Structure 1
Amino acid sequence: MLTAVVPYTGNLQRFLETIKSFLVQKFTADVKRIDQLPQLIVLNMTTEDLQAAETEGLLRRFRSLITLVDCPDLTLPAAYNQAVKLATRDYITFALPGDMFPVGSLAKACVFFKTQTKLVSFISLNTACLSRDTEKFDLIFRKDSPALIELNEHPDLVPIVFSGIILKKACFDSSSFNESLEYDFGLDFIYRLLKSNPKFGFAKTAAFRTTNSLESTEVGSTFALRAEWYWQTTRDFLIPLFKNHVYSDGTLPKYLQHAATYQLKWRFQHNINTNSKHVIDEEVETFFELCGNLLNQIDADIITTKSKFFTLTQFIKYTFLHLKYKDQYTPKYFYYEGNTFLEQDNTVLFKANDQKVLLELLEYDEENLIIEASIDNFVDLTKCRLLAFYAKEPLIVQETYRYAHAKYFSVSVHKRHTFKVAIPKQKLLSTPGAIAFKLKIDGHLVDLSIITKRHTSRLSSSLPKTYWASSGFVLRLATNKKTISVKKATLTTRIKAEYALLSNMLFSNKCPTQLFTLRCLYWLSYPFFSRSRIWLTYDKLYKAGDCGEYFYKHAVTRKDGISAAYVLNETSPDYARLRSEGYRPLKYGTLKHKLHFLHAEAIFTTHGGVHSFNSFTDSDIIYFQNLLRADVACIQHGLTVQQLAFNSNRLFNNMKRYYCASKYEIQNLAHPVYGYEDKSALKLTGIPRYDGLVNQDKKQILITPTWRNYIAMPATAKNESKPYYPGFKNTDYFKIYNSLLSDARLIETAKATGYKIIYLLHPTVSAQIDDYPKRDGIEIIPSLSINYEEILTESSLMVTDYSGVQFDFAYMRKPVVYYHPPKLPPHYKEGGFFYDTMGFGEICTEHDELVNNICSYMLDNCNVKPFYLARQNDFFAHSDLDSSKRIYDDMLDYQKTKTKAFKPAPSDSATNCVQD
């Protein structure tokens, strides 16, 4: 009948779920031979004693069906090959811990396989994979997929996961798993089978669920954090696969082209924008070249196809086409039946009519309606013209240069064309009409649809009946999303617009009831909140003690009608602390918090997206973004001296103020990519947490490296810290700093000079504290349990790599030593702070060099050297404890004046896409 092979890798619960789902299967009601019973081969990949483990009696109860193999020193493909030799049934399947066989599914699969046994070497169950984005199970195959899948006819149905595959045991008589492949050995095996017989069976009625997400082969996969996952798949799996399957005319089977495109897609998707894992940074050009060579053998129509699991994002399509064609990427335009297309090598790449304007900002200054938007550069804007119209009259389209990049592996591969349009209010008053955007290509006008993704767009293209009422006008996005209508606002038009939106929310199956209720409560509470001036701030939602807390504490001392609020997760230890100090922090996620956010006059942010830090998801905020009126100010977490345009550009939160501690921050933020055309938004005030930095030296050496996104698991929620990462001890990060903490000379010198050494874990890796061995003279502290002000003011010397708290330390004019080992490159590229010419201390790249410098400082009482003191004095604009006051006063002035937005005079470069 059937043998199942299941490895045990340490997660007992997931392992038990899988083997139980297999052992309870009933394959036949009348068992006459032992081979009619299932066989389970358990591969113990650990040194644990599974016989003694708490396996709920399963290993004993089913001992006649279970073969246990201890193989802790084998790789998984080698262990699978061992298991094949022990398999005694006609069919065999391989399942990972967490995979589930629903009751009755395998009996159906085996019956089905018998009907196909002369036609195919393997079948696939109706596999559903867990999506890491939606946390739901998605079926791999289409509902209309045939029982016998001929891949020459349906190449996009090629198997893309090895889980859920049942093979004939006889397939292994002349072949085995490739033991040199760590990640793709299963797919490699079945693709080799398909070479001689490109078809397989699809058991539609036999369900199978795998918690292994489509983009990896295990839940919480850390594969993307390993360089081998990139190199082995391309160099050792796909390239040999292509060579072995190429046809005599040099082409490849379409199904392999689909399979390879899928594999490449996830390598890139795992490293988009700020999610780059930084594991192949030094060799990314070589990796791109390798991918380009593979893509050169993949037809362009495969890259641009639209299939359930093979559809690529526009950015990946664009990237893959450039890697494929290299310098030969020169698409041509042709016009057919009212549509404009881009083609290369007789393959349609893009449809220009599908281009969309991304509306990113709507707001008013004293004289104009301001529109800021962007459009993909997939069409060559040097060969066509972007036009904007109001009431069918042309408008000036001003090109802007703010951040709008798509990056893979930290390399910018695409930049959207960003632009700005200003429509005088007087024109809106005198001429009711609609705003529209068009492309002019070879004399043909292409109407562009309007989409939205940011809450700053006010309107939402995914919300019917969306509107925005402000400054005496009501704006609506047309049903066809081609135009934005503008009308004078009256009480009647406002009420009608709101009634239409609320009705849509109430009767829509997409809008949760609680969001409809919240919007109603907004209007019910409006009379009360409209008389309040709410200034809202926060830090990390699970940890206080940053600029938000300091600013909040200053704000509550001012008696000028401002209602200050500080948002914090109730489960944070700092919540109880603040309450004990007499403050009343606002509980994150409560109704009170959400109403405060919706009615706020000003928001002082330290991190990322404002709405997500105020308990509104991207899908929630669309129902409320036309209500938001708060002016957003950045009071910072770490100083903006690196290249941080991705989330520090003006439009990310429609920032009205950006408060800085150094002139070098101002210089960095003044670059066009940040989008601060009005430089008065950049204020040199200092940042709030510096108000608590009074030197209280207690002879401490503080070692506090920053984190890397590739050494931590993702947080389960915005308001929670990151969970424990089992692979942390295998990272260079752990090995390098653990070696430093165990250095005997460092510990002895500290003891001899009376210093205590503190290793402060970054909040994102605080869960790893137990990975570090305990040592005399070394105190290891998680950030979540300390008071930053205390530990910084009481320390004498800081050792860090790139942590932003170096600036706090230097603000007190204390010495800093940098540790920049080559194996630990920084998160960000240098922007306005260059360590070799501006750093506040010595830069060490080797272990012994670092220990020498630390010991030297301890022997000299940790005095800051004059050379570095001069750099500190040059860097900071202030040295007092009044940053919060300056920020508060500036925002008061801004609220009083609300000066009109800066409007640069039109220039030739700014008006090159104006009216035709």
Structure 2
Amino acid sequence: MFRVLKEASTLSSSEEVLFSVVIAVYNNAEYASDLYRSLECQSKVEGGWEVIIVNDGSTDSSLSIAENWQKKSRLNIRVLDKTNSGVSVARNHGISECSGKWITFVDSDDVLHRDYMASLEDFLRRDRHNMASLLATRSVIYNEKTGILVDNHPLAWKFKHGDRLVDINQQPHVVHLGGHATVVRRDFIEANSIRFNENVRPGFEDADFIGRYLGKFERPVIGLVASARYYYRKRSNGTSLIDTTWTKPEKFSHEPKYGHLGMLRSITADRGYTPKWAQNTVLYSLYWYFLADRSWNSPIAGVQKQLLDDFWVVLHEIMMYIDVDVLRQFSLRNYGWYLSEGIIRQFKNNSWVKSEGHTVYRWGGITSKKKTQKFVYSYIGVKPKEQFFVDGKRVTPVHTNTVVNRAFDHELMTERILNLPSHGKVRIWLDNKEATIVRMPPFNRLPSFADEMDPDLILSGESKIVSPHAVTSEYKKANGGLTKKAIVGINALASRGSEEAWVNNKYVIRSVYDILSRVVKRKYQNWIILHNKSKDAKILRASLQPEVCVNYKHAWIFIDRPDRGDDNAEHLYRYVRKNHPNVNIWFLIEESAPDWNRLSADGFNLLPYGSEKTITAVLNAKFILSSHMDAGIFDLIDRKRFGATSAKRVFLQHGMNMNDISKWLNTKDLPLMITSARPELEALVSERSQYRISKREAKLTGLPRHDKLVKMSKETPVSERQNILIAPTWRKYLSDDMAVLDSEVARRDFILGTDFYKSWQGLLNSTTIREMAQRNGLNIVFALHDHLTEFARLFDFGDHVSVLPYREMSVQKMLANTRLLVTDYSSLSTEAAIANSPVIYYQFDSESIYSGKHSFKKDWFDYKINGFGPVCNSQSSVEGSLIDIESNAWEPFNLYKKRLSETLPYLDGSACARVVHQIMKIA
């Protein structure tokens, strides 16, 4: 359905419509007043302009707000109404109603500078030869939550030098993708029947429209209107279309097929070749796909395999239109070596650095200890035949590793890592042909404009200061006396204050106050930094005094977490203290942590986490041994402030690793990582794994804390234990969803409505588990995750359930007294199995847990194949398993005992000894 609600006021016959503003509206009631105010208050434009609002089936009051504005406005406004069909369909309807020479598209939740239309008109006036095919305006990010404007769009570099005309055939790195900041010629789109492609969704529809449009020009010229400022709203609740696109299947089906590929095909058909600017446009868009795929909590993790398979095929078709030199020279975003090399290897069977044969990269310097040099090359499929020579003599690599780099669940390239002797000239032959050895070259910086411009691309008049940011920059560069500096500063403050006041619809004096407050805060922070630099220098000098360093010379620093111990580091510390008294050992923990007094009473050499003593200790340490390697533990001191430590890091792990952590682990430099399970080690170090760690670094030893757990479990038979332990893991997506809620009441109501809460509440209040606990004299203990501490009272399931926060619980003591563990995905199940307690996995959300909403990503471990207990998807299934275990005298079934013994071979009480042995080997 499509109807005109009210005819627009007519223009006089002498008044020409210069600009048509098309606004597609869907449920913008919350933001409409900001946009309409910015349109209503535009400064004077000589040429006429009109506004066409297309209501795309809004379910809120958006339509009535638009109609009311139309009735009251002095502007030429037309309001159209249609059933919901998407932004592309709405814009196309708007285009058909336009009468202006130029058409621009404005998103319904954004704001325009008061001189936006005037700046466009002024630019056209200065374009003496009428060269501009398209006008691109400057997108400034408007942070709705803070009200601050930030000119940091990834493509903002184009506007840094003011208004200009650019022939993109000559300067193909100048790409433009945002329809909201685009102005096109109406006669040209009508003559060529150009419309938004309704199949391109949920993104790239703007870039597709712009690309097809520019592809029709023999000489496409973009007018960069830096003086026209478009305020792009970054919503505080994360509901902008750009924030939610990764959750839509069309992101991997329609967008690449009809958008990236469709646009390249269309332009190639028009031009007879694929322009480099079009290739760069697609590469810029695809960058965000690769970035999302490589992130630790990837939103792509939950995409169906068939979708990714189809996307992979389309990606190959897209890359057929991309020249290998364009891939090498692309500099709009930094793909990094692994992606750059991988993309060129996968799609072009070539390398990032051009050579006649295979390219081998010389990586870093020569290692001081073993006098070796690292070399890397890539390949697809079968590994090439390798031959290595140093000064003409055949040699064998000191160490090799083969890593598979994957993208979108497919192999991107195989990376071959070689450590060769460095005592002479190295030559490498691959498949009987000498390879070209090159040093890793630097990546391209952001591009710049050509120094010389064609005469017809030079705008008349001088380019003015285009933004308050430029005014501020002028203030910083101002020379002369204090008076001149003050005048320029006042102008900068007034300019910034006026702009923020305009966008936020508040008084200028208030904006000026807010800006001054931020400046004062920033100055204070800078003063603190300078003060700390002086303080840090004194600390560093004091820390390096011989009489101070002697206490920590060659120290082994143990840490579990800053706020607690009782993990592998603590258990290994105890073993070293007893069996290697000559080792200088220290345990690092916060002085305010509950475990501080316990460890102090036990005679531990304690270091207060974050103290000046820690700086001295870390800079003089030989090893840092930790069960965790998160930020703040991997770097125990700020390397920017105090420099890097030469201490070797030993990753003791928190438990048996069951999931794929390659994206996280590959960022760590670890000379030693211990493991406890055979398949865990195999997943890490096998040939062609996704991990960069190798057999040289990863060792199968068992976990130190398991030594004590095995001993404790033998002291109390399972039939004599007192607890049924319920220990669910947390869900990251629940934290993300709660983060946008601004009150405790809202977060509480949110938790109570989740499947997570309802499922565990239902189980803990089931008649089966209550009666079972009662007839066996058992306590039901609910282990409360740290993320839920502030909501502990919500988990009052009744007098029959004790709620115990993790941080208040000694895990090993609890497991040694646990008759049965019910968990979902926790590695605690391994600990329970070691303690000979039966395990039940309650996985009510198994279909969604690997969807990218949580940090889990499958690796070698499958709960049904490798787990230590039955996997249940419903409460009734859990209840049935409970009855089965009770009837088996609370003993784990033989199937799960066998799995445990086959998976973890070192439960003999000697894990600590094996770990220390491996540490001594790298000392």
Residue of structure 2 in register with 1:261 after alignment: 283
Q: How far apart are the structure 2 equivalents of 1:564 and 1:72? A: 69
TM-score, structure 1 normalization: 0.65
Superposed CA deviations along residues 834-872 of structure 1, whole A, max 9, x for unmatched, are 655543112456786556435655787855334423444
Superposed CA deviations along residues 285-340 of structure 1, whole A, max 9, x for unmatched, are 3321121122223333333333434x654433444345545xxx479x9xxxxx97
Contact 2:56 2:84 in 1 (8 A): no
Instruction: Specify which of 704, 723, 742 is matched with residue 728 of structure 2.
Output: 704
Any residues of structure 2 matched to 1:756-835 within 5 Å, and which? Answer: 787=809, 789=811, 796-800=819-823, 802-818=825-841, 821-825=846-850, 827-831=856-860, 835=863
Q: How far apart are the structure 1 equivalents of 2:247 and 2:799? A: 33
Residue of structure 2 in register with 1:494 after alignment: none
Q: How far apart are the structure 2 equivalents of 1:608 and 1:438? A: 38
Residue of structure 1 in register with 2:319 after alignment: 295
Residue of structure 1 in register with 2:415 after alignment: 416
Structure 1 unaligned blocks of 5 or more: 53-57, 334-338, 344-349, 424-433, 454-510, 715-721, 902-916
Instruction: Specify which of 136, 150, 159 is matched with residue 124 of structure 1.
Output: 136
Q: How far apart are the structure 2 equivalents of 1:23 and 1:166? A: 16
How far apart are residue 199 of structure 1 and its match? 4.0
Residue of structure 1 in register with 2:704 after alignment: 686
Q: How far apart are the structure 2 equivalents of 1:700 and 1:70? A: 61
Any residues of structure 2 matched to 1:396-795 within 5 Å, and which? Answer: 396-398=395-397, 400-402=399-401, 404-421=403-420, 448-449=438-439, 518=536, 521-526=539-544, 527=546, 528-532=548-552, 534-539=555-560, 546-548=567-569, 562-567=584-589, 575-579=592-596, 581=598, 591-608=612-629, 613-614=634-635, 620=640, 624-625=643-644, 627-628=645-646, 630-640=647-657, 652-656=668-672, 658-662=673-677, 671=686, 682-684=700-702, 686-687=704-705, 691=709, 699-700=723-724, 702=726, 704-705=728-729, 723=739, 740-741=759-760, 747-754=766-773, 787=809, 789=811
Superposed CA deviations along residues 758-809 of structure 1, whole A, max 9, x for unmatched, are 886876x769989x99988999989776647277567654444543221122
| Secondary structure, aligned partner of 1:416 | strand
Superposed CA deviations along residues 123-162 of structure 1, whole A, max 9, x for unmatched, are 211346799xx99554445457983344444443231333
Q: How far apart are the structure 1 equivalents of 2:802 and 2:208? A: 45
How far apart are residue 203 of structure 1 and its match? 0.7
Contact 2:316 2:347 in 1 (8 A): yes
Q: How far apart are the structure 2 equivalents of 1:830 and 1:342? A: 38
Contact 1:295 1:323 in 2 (8 A): no
Q: How far apart are the structure 2 equivalents of 1:121 and 1:596? A: 64
Superposed CA deviations along residues 108-137 of structure 1, whole A, max 9, x for unmatched, are 234224556966564211346799xx9955
What is the one-letter code of the residue matched to 1:377? S
Check 1:239–1:514 CA distance in 2 against 1; reply closer, same or farther (3 A cut).
same
What is the one-letter code of the residue matched to 2:412? V
Pick which of 634-643 and 746-755 moved more: 746-755
Contact 2:104 2:181 in 1 (8 A): no
Higher helix share: 2
What is the one-letter code of the residue matched to 2:378? N
Contact 2:404 2:415 in 1 (8 A): yes
Q: State yes or no: 1:356 paired with 2:361.
A: yes
Instruction: Specify which of 227, 249, 252 is matched with residue 230 of structure 1.
Output: 252
Number of residue pairs matched by the alignment: 761
How far apart are residue 810 of structure 1 and its match? 1.3
| Secondary structure, aligned partner of 2:313 | helix
How far apart are residue 398 of structure 1 and its match? 0.7
Contact 2:56 2:90 in 1 (8 A): yes
Residue of structure 2 in register with 1:864 after alignment: 892
Superposed CA deviations along residues 541-581 of structure 1, whole A, max 9, x for unmatched, are 5776644466568888998674523245x9xxxx4433565
Contact 1:635 1:688 in 2 (8 A): no
Contact 1:440 1:446 in 2 (8 A): no
Contact 2:327 2:340 in 1 (8 A): yes
Residue of structure 2 in register with 1:247 after alignment: 269
Check 1:81–1:285 CA distance in 2 against 1; reply closer, same or farther (3 A cut).
closer
Q: How far apart are the structure 2 equivalents of 1:766 and 1:403? A: 42
Instruction: Specify which of 99, 119, 132 is matched with residue 108 of structure 1.
Output: 119
Q: How far apart are the structure 2 equivalents of 1:555 and 1:49? A: 70
Superposed CA deviations along residues 571-610 of structure 1, whole A, max 9, x for unmatched, are xxxx443356575976655554444322223211223478
Residue of structure 2 in register with 1:156 after alignment: 173
Superposed CA deviations along residues 871-897 of structure 1, whole A, max 9, x for unmatched, are 4455555769x78xx63x6677778xx
Check 1:373–1:855 CA distance in 2 against 1; reply closer, same or farther (3 A cut).
farther
Check 1:404–1:603 CA distance in 2 against 1; reply closer, same or farther (3 A cut).
same
What is the one-letter code of the residue matched to 1:296? M
| Secondary structure, aligned partner of 1:374 | strand
Q: How far apart are the structure 2 equivalents of 1:47 and 1:774? A: 39
| Secondary structure, aligned partner of 1:196 | coil
Superposed CA deviations along residues 420-447 of structure 1, whole A, max 9, x for unmatched, are 3457xxxxxxxxxx87656579998966
| Secondary structure, aligned partner of 1:613 | coil
Instruction: Specify which of 43, 52, 55 is matched with residue 27 of structure 1.
Output: 43
Q: How far apart are the structure 1 equivalents of 2:706 and 2:335? A: 44
Residue of structure 1 in register with 2:462 after alignment: none
Q: How far apart are the structure 2 equivalents of 1:72 and 1:751? A: 54
Q: How far apart are the structure 1 equivalents of 2:901 and 2:286? A: 49
Q: How far apart are the structure 2 equivalents of 1:781 and 1:59? A: 56
Contact 1:128 1:139 in 2 (8 A): no
Contact 1:659 1:685 in 2 (8 A): yes
Q: How far apart are the structure 2 equivalents of 1:10 and 1:781? A: 44
Contact 1:358 1:373 in 2 (8 A): yes
Check 1:684–1:248 CA distance in 2 against 1; reply closer, same or farther (3 A cut).
closer
What is the one-letter code of the residue matched to 2:321? Q
Check 1:267–1:547 CA distance in 2 against 1; reply closer, same or farther (3 A cut).
same
TM-score, structure 2 normalization: 0.64
Instruction: Specify which of 203, 213, 238 is matched with residue 183 of structure 1.
Output: 203
Contact 2:764 2:770 in 1 (8 A): no
Structure 2 unaligned blocks of 5 or more: 1-18, 144-149, 444-528
Considering only aligned residues, what root-mean-square deviation do their CA atoms show, in Å?
A: 6.1
Contact 1:211 1:219 in 2 (8 A): no
| Secondary structure, aligned partner of 1:639 | coil
Contact 2:139 2:151 in 1 (8 A): no
Q: How far apart are the structure 1 equivalents of 2:311 and 2:800? A: 41
